[in-house]
A and B are shown apart, each in its own frame.
Chain A
């Protein structure tokens, strides 16, 4: 496919005319062939989208690789997972977790308060992910980074999956995330289980979880 896993922390991508790859600025490790990199200023959605991103804080500088050749991507020694999108479902992920994705994918910034109302906002605030998230639509590959690698946990309707907000990476499909507070008096006296705040994912799709409770940055 488009991206190839070289080792758990490095992916490679073929670049050809008409097949550009967007990536986080500074994530190129090496390339072969005739490839040029240029910064991308206006994100998807034009100037409005850019302003939206700046306001949302959901902004990571991206660059585009053009030409023909192979580019190797990696970032800060973090684990990189390739997620293939087949066009039927969108991927929701934090912008700062994106290493690279096919330029053919449409990306939009979604306000979490929408739909979820106050709950959505609380979710963003609690999980430390801000109130906005990035969504990628279309057919193509995405390389997402994580601390310790990710596992894919299925979410089936009527069978919600609960994740630790700090271990949450992203999700694919029609999945709704809700904060559930599982706090008891034990947490108040410091004898809690350490799992007081949880993200309840319902709907159908896949949620990606990393093997650590450390955030990127």
Chain B
């Protein structure tokens, strides 16, 4: 099992023992030992199909593959970091909020519905599946994990959305009265509604 350790709340420490992780390009701040950094390629290291999908959908992700033996420290723009352990399930994440994924995890692109258009992230979102740890970024402060259960659906601002996990159905809510209230110039009056069972991560800052 790979060890992802937080050093403070904004620096991630990863121990490599001959294995590899994929990280956001340029996110390394220091390393010791013998570690090589290589661009993971167009598909983020997940083969031609993912590469073509990324090309076509514009949900680009710029990852580098870090392999070797040693300790690597990652950080990006002083954003807070949360480590999530995956156990065979699927996580949907904004590609720019991804810091490090274990090489055991697969990343792919999925249709996100109209949500993508509203948050300016494109119509597609990145999915991560498999077993292993990953680290997400949260701007403006520590991320907040909100639980969703069938009785309690959750509505979030698309610009604060970071990731979602579990059996969730996301729909798009347009609040016309609210839009009228804020006026056309103040931007979108869209929100994201999650139904089902799972966890949604949001950040305390709007993109």
Contacts and interface: CB of A to CB of B under 8 A. Distances in A.
A182 interface: yes
Given A159-B32, A163-B30, A148 B64 contact: no
B7 interface: yes
Nearest to B40: A193
B32 A213 contact: no
Contacts of A160: 32
A148 B78 contact: yes
A147 B29 CA distance: 13
Given A149-B8, A151-B11, A209 B29 contact: yes
B92 interface: no
Contacts of B76: 212-213
B111 interface: no
A192 B78 contact: no
A162 B77 contact: no
A212 B30 contact: no
Given A164-B30, A207-B30, A212 B77 contact: yes
Interface residues of B, number: 26
B26 A194 contact: yes
A210 B27 CA distance: 12
Contacts of B21: none
A69 to B, nearest CB: 31
A2 interface: no
Contacts of B33: 159
A4 to B, nearest CB: 19
Contacts of A79: 78
A153 B73 contact: yes
A193 B37 contact: yes
Place the interface of chain A in its size category: 20 to 34
Interface string A150-185: 010100000111111001000000000000001000
Nearest to B38: A193
Given A209-B29, A214-B77, A195 B8 contact: no
Contacts of B38: 186, 193
A6 interface: no
Given A163-B29, A213-B26, A195 B73 contact: no
Given A149-B10, A193-B64, A212 B75 contact: yes
Contact of A167 (B7, B25, B30): B30
Contacts of A193: 25-26, 37-39, 64-65
A191 B30 contact: no
A151 B64 contact: no
A29 interface: no
Contacts of A195: 25-26, 28, 37, 64
Contact of A148 (B10, B28, B65): B10
B141 to A, nearest CB: 12
B152 interface: no
Contact of B29 (A159, A186, A191, A213): A213
Given A186-B38, A193-B37, A167 B75 contact: yes
Contacts of B32: 153, 159-162
B101 to A, nearest CB: 15
Contacts of A207: 30
A79 B31 CA distance: 22
A211 interface: yes
B25 A147 contact: no
10 contacts: A151-B7, A162-B30, A162-B32, A163-B30, A164-B28, A192-B25, A194-B25, A194-B27, A195-B26, A210-B78
Interface of B: 7-8, 10-11, 25-33, 37-39, 41, 62, 64-65, 73, 75-79
Given A161-B31, A192-B39, 17 more contacts: A79-B78, A149-B78, A151-B8, A151-B11, A162-B31, A162-B32, A164-B28, A164-B30, A167-B75, A193-B26, A193-B38, A194-B37, A194-B62, A195-B37, A211-B8, A211-B29, A212-B77
